[in-house]
Amino acid sequence: MSLKEKVEEIIDKDIRPALMRDGGNIALVDVEEKEGVVKVQLLGACGGCPMSQITLTMVVEQHLRSKIPEIKKVIPI
C-alpha cells in the first residue's frame, strides 16, 4: 500500500467522519512521499472557520502523524 493510499484510508475512516459531524469535510489534494508532506483542503464549515488552522494541526496533522510516522507535515491548499 502506498503512502497516499494509507493517508486516504485514515482520512476516510477517522478524520472525515469527525469533521462531517460539525458540518465540515476534507479533500486530499496530494501526498509528497519523499518529503512526507500531505496537502489537504478543508471544505464545508471547516473551509471558512476561524479555527480551521487549529483543526488542521491539532486534529488532521496529529492524527495522521500518529498513524503514519513517515508524515512530517500537513499543509492546507
pLDDT digits (tens, 9 = 90+) for 25-76: 999 999 999 999 999 999 999 888 888 988 899 899 999 999 999 999 999 9
> Which residues, other chains included, contact 45 with Cβ-Cβ below 8 Å and sequence gap of 6+?
22, 23, 24
pLDDT digits (tens, 9 = 90+) for 4-17: 999 999 999 999 99
Give the single-character DSSP code of 4. Answer: H
Q: Is 30 left (phi over 0), alpha (psi -120 to 50) or beta?
A: beta
Q: What pLDDT does residue 65 have?
A: 97
Domain ranges of the chain: 3-76
pTM of the model: 0.92
Q: What pLDDT does residue 62 have?
A: 96
Q: What pLDDT does residue 47 have?
A: 85
What homologous superfamily is domain 3-76 in, according to CATH? Fe-S cluster assembly (FSCA) (3.30.300.130)
